[in-house]
Structure 1
Amino acid sequence: MANGHQSASLFKHADFLKLWAAQIGSAFGSRITRTVLPMIAILTINATPNEIAILSALSFAPGLIVAFLAGGYIDRNKKRPLLITTDLVRAALIFSVPIAAHFSAMSMMQLYVVAAVVGAATSIFQIADNAYLPRLVAKDQLVDANSKLEATDAVAEASGPGIAGLLVSLFSAPIAMIFDAITYLWSALMLSFIKKPEPKRTAKSAEDSLLRDAVLGFKSCVKHPIVGPILAADTLMTLAGGIYVTLYMVVALRTLALDPFTVGVIISLGGIAGFFGALAAAPVANKFGLRNTLVVTMALGQLANFGIPLAAALPQYSIALLSFQQVAGDFFMTIFVIQALSLRQREMPENVLARANATFQLTTGMVIPLSALMAGPISMWIGITNTLWIAAIGAMFALPILLMIKKPN
């Protein structure tokens, strides 16, 4: 593993700094889009709850499917032009919103199209970005690079919705989209300044197809001695995570009768902890190694989730337990996510890396709504607290799966 000069070397890595600057724009832009589009639908078009639900689904689902099928195309082609193209597509679509608002031509159909195409472009950007990073930095710099990018993403996740709300308050929802579009133009500009050449595109063979590409990416992950167990463990933890997400507010607001402000403060602690987890990821991996860090942070992060059913069972300690869960869970799981991504980037062949990234994205995207749909009936059958206990215990079975991973080279 790289030693202590690794971090400084990335600050002197001109091309990485440009990619990082681009990612800052894209990260904040995606959060602003996600926040402001529903506001426009509600404030400008008086959308119904059903229309808002459709808008939310279109922001999410098409991107998973398109990105999964596009993995082979991303693998065979240069990544930087694709990243720039997705930025320009998002900027153009988002600019269309304030233009339509200016001419009083806004419609839900336009917002549906914007949500679907921007969501798909964002998914493609994320997959191509993760596949591009190993071409830009050395393998022993991947953890450090991913830590910096993840820290930025944590800041965007925590502050992006607030910035979006402020822009809407100061100007208007359609005008806020102009600032949103500018973030994507900034990202495209920064990416255009990167100088390191990429390998030439690989020609598509007669046997290649969208479905074959998707199947190849899935098989490449499942059969890999390191990536396969990570995918299985990640799927199991995501299944439990969908249950937490579904029942967390019910427990906090109804079972424990906490006020919304307190709940908001508790959740914000997780965002802060995630930021510090991103900063700690590289030093921890340098000291203990990728494999050991992966296993230990997964175990500690999932153990922290026992704080949720414990809070429901011990309401007198609920604030302390939920705060502990947010801080410890987000801190350790952020480190886990960075190690898992870095291992995938190191171990998977470059010619299937985008398809592997797409497999992880699709699997996670499918499991979360599935577990969310399961959470309701199960909790009605055996109770919310018991459902949370089952989720917490079930997620711990990811530990023996990860222990099957041998030490990477």
Structure 2
Amino acid sequence: MTAAQRIWAHADFRRLLLAQAVSAVGSRITRTALPIIAVNSLQASATATAFLSAMTMLPGVVVALFAAGWIDRTRKRPLLILMDLVRAALLLTLPVAAYFGALTMTQLVVIATLTGAASAIFVIAKSAYLPRLVDTHQLVDGNTKLQSTEAVAEIAGPSAAGVLIQAVTAPVAIIVDALSFIWSAWWLREIRAVEDVAAATDKSDALRDIAEGWRVCRGHPIVFPLLMAQATFGLFAGFFSAIYMLFALRTLGLSESAVGVIIGVGGISALAGAFAAAPLSRMLGYGRAVVLCLGGWILASVFIPAAEGQGALAVPFLVLQQLIGDGFLAAFVILTVSIRQTALDLDVQARAGATFLAVEGFALPVGALIAGPLAEIVGPGAVLWIAIAGSLVPLLILSFSRLWTLKTLEDSRVAK
């Protein structure tokens, strides 16, 4: 029986997959709806829209830094269920406020902040949970399956969001996401595996946990370049997250449904990329496959700012970026996460994952907060060109590190 067959036979992994599959679609609806509410319903400026984007990501820094050790020492499944229910309850306040005509930018920012914090806890716990649920040789296949649900969600979610938003308004469309979190909580509740956790010690505290997460990442010759690349990539990815919707809706003049369909097209590529990750790593080696995937995403991203002034070609340009770039990005995420999960010990997975999330959670909002005011000075298109140029930095970091010579996942353990 192959690794792929074994993981499909893993009943608890199937339950985890079912939990993620639907909630991922719902999350895409909210991700699409929040900036649309800000731009079209509340007439937010570029700076306000960037601030909203930043507050969606910034809580990840605080959570990652101060909760990771606790996550390592607690059972992950009950925590995942709780975060699903918290996010569902928070999101349901938006359609209620809209119904009474009381929806404001302040509420939008508060909900984005709190759901961002809950999502950060969920992401850290899920990343630490998977190596406890499946065997090491199943990690890449497990991450591939999970990432493939993200890819399918990227196909269905934004497209459904565009249609729902035009049909019933963005706040009402968010109800679908709230229901998807309840679905996820139900399937996580059905997982039967007994979970072992690291024992708590009298010396356990947040500052020591932060130091331990940094230590294990800093001390690994392959994981540390990945961390540095994550930091610089996150900074310039923050430019894209803050400006893309503004660029598409205002600069290019596209409709909400058109933007939803364009983003959804990327899911087709992401699905292909998810399944291409393992073959690419076998053909090129893990390190070179990671570098290739990041380079492919950067090249594809050129189509976004190049769409400005292209008239009827603007939509095909954005579609091309989604079709090419999202596939490379999906494979990049699968390979880098699998390397980190294999290279580091089980009992520090949450703290190491939190270090990555903290670095990204700091870099993304900083990039977003820089991009907003900068867009008001030089224009959204120019900001996106700057982001592409900056994305070459993490590519260089990885190309000149020991990651370049990494052939197999097991080699990442030897590298310690």
Smaller-chain TM-score bracket = 0.7 to 0.9
Deviation at 1:390, TM superposition (A): 4.0
1:22 to 19, 22, 27: 19
Q: Give yes or no for the alignment of 1:185 onto 2:179.
A: no
Q: Give yes or no for the alignment of 1:49 onto 2:48.
A: no
Contact 2:239 2:383 in 1 (8 A): no
1:233 to 229, 235, 244: 229
Show structure 2 runs of 5+ residues with no match. 411-416
**CA separation of 1:160 and 1:53: change in aligned 2, threshold 3 A:** same
Q: Give yes or no for the alignment of 1:131 onto 2:141.
A: no
Contact 1:309 1:389 in 2 (8 A): no
2:9 to 7, 12, 16: 12
Show structure 1 runs of 5+ residues with no match. none
**CA separation of 1:401 and 1:304: change in aligned 2, threshold 3 A:** farther
User: Which residue of 2 is the match for residue 115 of structure 1?
Assistant: 112
User: Which residue of 2 is the match for residue 159 of structure 1?
Assistant: 156
- Structure 1 window deviating more from structure 2 (299-308 vs 277-286): it is 299-308
Deviation at 1:23, TM superposition (A): 0.9
**What is the alpha-carbon distance in structure 2 between the residues aligned to residue 26 and residue 118 of structure 1?**
14
Deviation at 1:30, TM superposition (A): 2.4
Deviation at 1:93, TM superposition (A): 2.7
Q: Give yes or no for the alignment of 1:88 onto 2:82.
A: no
Contact 1:243 1:391 in 2 (8 A): no
User: Which residue of 1 is the match for residue 361 of structure 2?
Assistant: 365
Task: Please report the RMSD computed on the Cα atoms of aligned residues, expressed in angstroms.
Answer: 4.1
Q: Which amino acid aligns with 2:329?
A: M
**CA separation of 1:363 and 1:5: change in aligned 2, threshold 3 A:** same
**What is the alpha-carbon distance in structure 1 between the residues aligned to residue 174 and residue 261 of structure 2?**
28
What is the correspondence of 1:91-110 to structure 2 with a 5 Å cutoff?
A: 91-98=88-95, 104=100, 106=102, 108=104
1:275 to 266, 271, 274: 271
Q: Residue 224 of structure 1: SS of its match in structure 2?
A: coil
User: Which residue of 2 is the match for residue 344 of structure 1?
Assistant: 340
**What is the alpha-carbon distance in structure 1 between the residues aligned to residue 384 and residue 49 of structure 2?**
30
Deviation at 1:328, TM superposition (A): 3.5
Deviation at 1:234, TM superposition (A): 2.8
**What is the alpha-carbon distance in structure 1 between the residues aligned to residue 33 and residue 226 of structure 2?**
35
**CA separation of 1:320 and 1:115: change in aligned 2, threshold 3 A:** closer
Q: Residue 132 of structure 2: SS of its match in structure 1?
A: helix
Deviation at 1:177, TM superposition (A): 4.1
What is the correspondence of 1:215-230 to structure 2 with a 5 Å cutoff?
A: 215-230=211-226
Q: Which amino acid aligns with 1:225?
A: P
Contact 2:81 2:185 in 1 (8 A): yes
Q: Which amino acid aligns with 2:277?
A: A
User: Under a length normalisation based on structure 2, what TM-score does the superposition of the two structures give?
Assistant: 0.78
Contact 1:78 1:201 in 2 (8 A): no
Deviation at 1:185, TM superposition (A): 1.3
Contact 2:234 2:360 in 1 (8 A): yes
**CA separation of 1:253 and 1:397: change in aligned 2, threshold 3 A:** farther
Deviation at 1:283, TM superposition (A): 3.3
**CA separation of 1:63 and 1:289: change in aligned 2, threshold 3 A:** same
2:200 to 179, 203, 221: 203
Q: Which amino acid aligns with 1:129?
A: K
How many residues are paired up?
A: 399
User: Which residue of 1 is the match for residue 390 of structure 2?
Assistant: 391
What percentage of aligned pairs have identical amino acids?
A: 41
Deviation at 1:209, TM superposition (A): 2.4
* Residues 191-219 of structure 1: per-residue CA shift (max 9 Å, x gap): 1111110004522423x322332232122
Deviation at 1:132, TM superposition (A): 0.5
**What is the alpha-carbon distance in structure 1 between the residues aligned to residue 206 and residue 329 of structure 2?**
33
Deviation at 1:106, TM superposition (A): 4.5
Q: Residue 58 of structure 2: SS of its match in structure 1?
A: helix
